[in-house]
């Protein structure tokens, strides 16, 4: 149980929470804009105007620049950045991954972060990239864990300490790392070294890494997905239990004249219209932005507005209980994201443990919806239905039905359930009548099991025009089927 993180609302494995820091409480999920202390595209003091509650910067860069280091040591990190809210500091691990070596030790960077007043410090972990030999991943993970334990012994004051989860693309190493460092009670758990997966659109593997890491962690602790800054994938990551993100994308994309949306990215030179209603887009035309001397600044501001708009939508979706509908919508914006959606639902049994048992109306969004945790939960609970005597199973669209002891409705993707429950969640689901084969298959599978669980009942199945599926032959063997 985390003493600094309170979960207030849940949906899927996602949640809204309150993270307590020395400089105030942050509502999650949220994004921490990355501040380069050498090059501030947007001033930290302006960040609250976009919706930022918390920032992240690089303590290694600050420590290596005389002017920055002296001011930070003298006046503190918050004075240096001119921001009075919580600030997280990275340790230089990114530079380590790029250059192979840096001129600082784990002990030195932890002491520096403490001295300058960081709200959340990060040890000098080793961000092992994807696809390396297992021997390297194991060796670097061992070093990372040693450094994390060393840092934990050094931090006993009010600074929160992050415990990064590493292990490359080896899911067993990710889970082992998470489980091992959990014993040392870190405050925040970043999932590290995933930027290469996102840059190469390997989102399905990103899902594997997140789930493996989460399985090794206490479900009540805050989790940070390092380097995740594009709003297209926020909903997916939140649904898997990530609470914090950090984004330099708003500035890096702007530098390359790229315009971020929740569905993907445009190059500004290819836009004739600005498909957004943020203050930048309503006060400029696409041509004006293209030709502006401060084009990068305008794009960076737009990118930040869109980033936090998506975060607010995600939180509203959690409160309303329809986060998974948003995830399915976002994951149809790119084929690799759709692969990630399918991979996420391969973990529905894990998600179902955290998904609330009652929430808003289930909206069927496509074949993948048949794999949602709500459908899995119904499958697990079929043995709760006791049916005796005669039973007629009719399509949900059929209003009149033959008289029998039991009136049962067939509704994909769930299957068959007593008509008395038709207005109860999740059976009040909004679904299509022209059923997808995946949804129909799941419904027939559950219906067959329901019949088999009640061998003394006499079932009549009223066949709808949409019922054409290989499983239908098996149904005909155990029930009286009528047109």
3-class DSSP assignment, residue 85: coil
What pTM value is reported for the model? Answer: 0.95
CB distance 38 to 79 below 8 Å: no
CB distance 121 to 160 below 8 Å: yes
- Report the residue count for the chain: 483
Rounded CA-CA distance 153/68 in Å is 27
278 annotated ligand-binding residue: yes
Strand 24-28 and strand 30-35: pairing? unpaired
pLDDT at position 433, please? 86
pLDDT at position 397, please? 86
Q: Supply the residues annotated as catalytic.
A: 90
Closest CA to 38 of 21, 54, 19, 58: 58
Token pair 């929430």 is found at 359
DSSP state of 369: G
331 annotated ligand-binding residue: no
CB burial of residue 38 (10 Å; 0-12, 13-18, 19+)? exposed
Strand partners, 10: 15
Rounded CA-CA distance 121/104 in Å is 15
φ, ψ for residue 408 (rounded to 5)?
A: -120, 135
Angstrom CA distances, 131 to 101, 168, 216, 237, stand at 20, 7, 21, 21
pLDDT at position 283, please? 98
193 annotated ligand-binding residue: yes
**How do the pLDDT tens digits run along the chain, 483 residues long?**
678 999 999 999 999 999 999 999 999 999 999 999 888 889 999 999 999 999 999 999 999 999 999 999 999 999 999 999 999 999 977 666 555 566 789 999 999 999 999 999 999 999 999 999 999 999 999 999 999 999 999 998 789 999 999 999 999 999 999 999 999 999 999 999 999 999 999 999 999 999 999 999 999 999 999 999 899 999 999 999 999 999 899 999 999 999 999 999 999 999 999 999 999 999 999 999 999 999 999 999 999 999 999 999 999 999 999 999 999 999 999 999 999 999 999 999 999 999 999 888 999 999 999 999 999 999 999 999 999 999 999 998 887 677 899 999 999 999 999 999 999 999 999 999 888 999 999 999 999 999 999 999 999 999 876 567 888 888 888 888 887
Rounded CA-CA distance 289/86 in Å is 33
Strand 480-482 and strand 160-161: pairing? unpaired
Strands (E), 215-297: 223-225, 244-247, 258-261, 264-267
């Amino acid at each position: 149980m985390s003493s600094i993180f309170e979960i207030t609302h849940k949906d899927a494995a996602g949640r809204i929470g309150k993270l307590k820091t020395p400089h105030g409480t942050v509502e999650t999920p949220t994004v921490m804009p990355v501040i380069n202390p050498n090059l501030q595209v947007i001033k930290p003091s302006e960040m609250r105007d976009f919706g930022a509650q918390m920032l992240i910067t690089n303590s290694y860069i600050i420590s290596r620049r005389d002017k920055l280091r002296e001011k930070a040591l003298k006046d503190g990190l918050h004075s240096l950045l001119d921001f009075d809210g919580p600030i997280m500091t990275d340790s230089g691990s990114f530079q380590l991954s790029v250059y192979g070596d840096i001129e600082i030790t784990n002990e030195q960077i932890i002491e520096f972060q403490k001295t300058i007043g960081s709200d959340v410090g990060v040890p000098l972990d080793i961000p092992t990239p994807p696809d390396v030999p297992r021997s390297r991943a194991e060796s670097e993970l061992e070093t990372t864990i040693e450094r994390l334990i060393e840092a934990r012994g050094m931090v006993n004051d009010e600074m929160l300490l992050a415990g990064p989860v590493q292990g490359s693309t080896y899911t067993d190493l990710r889970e082992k790392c998470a489980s091992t460092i959990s014993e040392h009670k870190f405050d925040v758990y970043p999932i590290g070294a995933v930027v290469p997966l996102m840059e190469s659109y390997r989102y399905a593997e990103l899902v594997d890494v997140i789930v493996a890491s989460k399985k090794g962690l206490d479900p009540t602790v805050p989790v940070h997905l390092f380097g995740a800054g594009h709003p297209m994938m926020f909903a997916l990551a939140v649904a898997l239990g990530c609470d914090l993100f950090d984004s330099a994308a708003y500035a890096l994309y702007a530098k390359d004249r790229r315009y971020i949306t929740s569905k993907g990215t445009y190059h500004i030179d290819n836009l004739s219209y600005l498909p957004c209603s943020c203050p930048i887009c309503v006060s400029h035309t696409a041509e004006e932005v293209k030709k502006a001397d401060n084009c990068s600044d305008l794009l960076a501001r737009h990118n930040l507005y869109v980033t936090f708009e998506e975060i607010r939508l995600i939180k509203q979706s959690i409160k309303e209980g329809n986060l998974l509908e948003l995830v399915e919508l976002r994951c149809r914006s790119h084929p690799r994201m759709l692969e990630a959606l399918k991979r996420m639902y391969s973990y529905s049994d894990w998600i179902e443990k955290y998904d609330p048992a009652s929430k808003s109306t289930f909206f069927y969004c496509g074949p993948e919806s048949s794999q949602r945790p709500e459908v899995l939960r119904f499958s697990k609970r079929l043995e709760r239905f006791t049916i005796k005597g005669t039973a007629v199973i009719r399509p949900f669209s059929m209003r009149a039905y033959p008289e029998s002891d039991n009136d049962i409705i067939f509704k994909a993707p769930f299957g068959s359930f007593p008509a008395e429950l038709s207005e109860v969640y999740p059976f009040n689901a909004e679904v299509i009548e022209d059923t997808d084969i995946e949804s129909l298959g799941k419904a027939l599978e559950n219906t067959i099991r329901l019949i088999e669980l009640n061998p003394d009942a006499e079932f009549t199945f009223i066949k709808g025009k949409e019922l054409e599926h290989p499983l239908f032959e098996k149904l005909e063997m155990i029930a009286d089927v009528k047109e």
